[in-house]
């Protein structure tokens, strides 16, 4: 006589979600405390859309184009400031970032450089500009210098991450041929990483164009300073014109820079040849 063994129908124990629940409660408590600490006038929140619509009407219903030539000149100063900052950032961050990559610089130097990049990334461009203002004064050079210093942290991180993600086949070939670390960096790592690093450099220029307008608000010159002055005087028609110029110029440079970056990363398209 055969005995049939019934399958074990006992349900598994439900996994504990205590840790996730505690984390959610803590996050909710932090959000609640933050809202209470901000002292938000909740009764006035319903008036905000109407106020925003009113200011938009004042700025863009009939923008004043009288100051357009000066606005274009100040925009050019902002673009020049962004370009100089991007060049300075790239020139400094590429060699330092390569030394911070594994297999290139020694361990102690990688640690120092990576911590330095992290510290620079933690400081906003506006704070750096405010510190430099006491030394260099209210000049566009202050903005360019602030953009260059602030960009080193992010750009350096992009550089060593790009170097570390490069294909190792070329590096191993150079090492097998008797190449040292400098030769591996020159003939293997740099050719593999150069297109990505050039793309990142152009992207840094795009970021600097946007940030240069913000630096102008603290007196670093350019279109941001002009925008701050006319905002303080409540000349909303001129402010609207300035915002239109800033948006238009930023979009144009984004399109041009994006096209160049795609060309660098993807290469040129083959054109058909008529026979």
Q: How far is residue 133 from each of residues 89, 92, 120, 189, 246, measured CA to CA in Å?
A: 19, 22, 18, 39, 24
Question: In the prediction, which pLDDT does 6 show?
Answer: 59
Question: In the prediction, which pLDDT does 163 show?
Answer: 84
Q: How far is residue 119 from each of residues 21, 78, 112, 151, 156, measured CA to CA in Å?
A: 34, 26, 11, 12, 12
Residue 151 is assigned to a structural domain of this protein:
yes
Question: In the prediction, which pLDDT does 113 show?
Answer: 92
Closest CA to 147 of 73, 225, 204: 204
73 is in which domain, residue-wise?
68-266
Question: In the prediction, which pLDDT does 119 show?
Answer: 92
Residue 248 is assigned to a structural domain of this protein:
yes
Residue 192 is assigned to a structural domain of this protein:
yes
The span from the CA of 240 to the CA of 244, in Å, is 6
Residue 45 is assigned to a structural domain of this protein:
no
Residue by residue, pLDDT tens for the chain (275 residues) are 556 665 666 666 777 778 888 888 999 888 888 777 777 777 777 788 888 888 888 888 888 888 888 889 988 888 888 888 889 898 999 889 888 888 787 889 989 999 999 999 998 888 888 888 887 777 778 888 888 998 898 899 988 888 888 756 666 666 666 666 666 666 667 777 778 888 888 888 888 888 888 887 777 778 888 888 888 888 888 888 988 998 898 888 888 888 888 887 776 554 555 55
Residue 52 is assigned to a structural domain of this protein:
no
> How many distinct structural domains can be found in the chain?
1
Residue 159 is assigned to a structural domain of this protein:
yes
Closest CA to 168 of 152, 184, 145: 184
142 within 8 A of 130, measured Cβ to Cβ: no
pTM of the model: 0.73
Kindly report the CATH number assigned to the domain that includes residue 74.
Answer: 1.10.3720.10
Residue 229 is assigned to a structural domain of this protein:
yes
Residue 225 is assigned to a structural domain of this protein:
yes
């Amino acid at each position: 006589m055969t005995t049939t063994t019934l399958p074990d129908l006992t349900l598994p124990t439900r996994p504990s979600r205590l840790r996730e629940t505690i984390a959610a409660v803590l996050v909710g408590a932090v959000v609640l405390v933050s809202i209470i600490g901000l002292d938000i006038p909740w009764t006035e929140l319903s008036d905000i859309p109407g106020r925003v619509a009113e200011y938009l009407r004042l700025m863009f219903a009939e923008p004043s184009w009288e100051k357009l030539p000066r606005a274009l000149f100040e925009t050019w100063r902002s673009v020049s400031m962004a370009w100089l900052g991007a060049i300075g950032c790239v020139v400094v961050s590429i060699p330092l970032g390569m030394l911070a990559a594994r297999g290139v610089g020694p361990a102690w130097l990688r640690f120092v450089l990576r911590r330095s990049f992290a510290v620079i990334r933690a400081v906003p461009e506006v704070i750096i500009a405010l510190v430099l203002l006491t030394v260099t004064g209210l000049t566009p050079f202050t903005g360019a210098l602030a953009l260059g210093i602030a960009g080193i942290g992010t750009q350096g991180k992009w550089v060593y991450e790009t170097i570390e993600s490069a294909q190792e086949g070329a590096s191993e070939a150079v090492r097998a041929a008797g190449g040292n670390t400098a030769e591996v960096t020159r003939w293997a790592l740099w050719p593999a990483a150069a297109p990505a690093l050039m793309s990142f450099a152009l992207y840094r220029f795009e970021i600097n164009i946007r940030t240069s307008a913000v630096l102008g608000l603290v007196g670093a010159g350019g279109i941001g300073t002009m925008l701050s002055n006319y905002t303080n005087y409540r000349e909303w028609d001129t402010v609207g014109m300035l915002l239109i110029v800033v948006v238009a110029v930023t979009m144009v440079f984004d399109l041009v820079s994006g096209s160049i970056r795609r060309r660098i990363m993807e290469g040129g398209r083959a054109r058909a040849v008529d026979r």
